[in-house]
Amino acid sequence: MKNKSVSRIALVILLCGFLPAVSSGQLITISISGQVTNISDPCSHLENKIHIGDTITGTYTYDSATLDSNPDTTEGLFEYNTPPAGIYLSVGGFEFKTDINRVDFLLAVTNNNLTGDYYNILSRNNLPLPNGTLVQYINWELYDPTGIALSSDALPLTAPDLSKWNSNLLRITHDRDFTIDATVTSAVLIPEPATLLLIIFGVAICKRR
Quickly state the pLDDT bin for 175 (edges 50, 70, 90). Answer: confident
Q: What is the pLDDT of residue 102?
A: 98
> Who contacts 125 (Cβ-Cβ below 8 Å, separation ≥6)?
98, 99, 102, 103, 104
Q: What is the mean pLDDT of the chain?
A: 86
The pLDDT assigned to 113 comes to: 84
Say if residue 86 is exposed, middle or buried (CB neighbours under 10 Å; 0-12, 13-18, 19+).
Answer: buried
Is the pLDDT confidence value at 204 over 80?
A: no
Residue 208 has pLDDT above 50, yes or no: yes
Specify the pTM.
Answer: 0.81
* Amino acid 205: pLDDT: 44
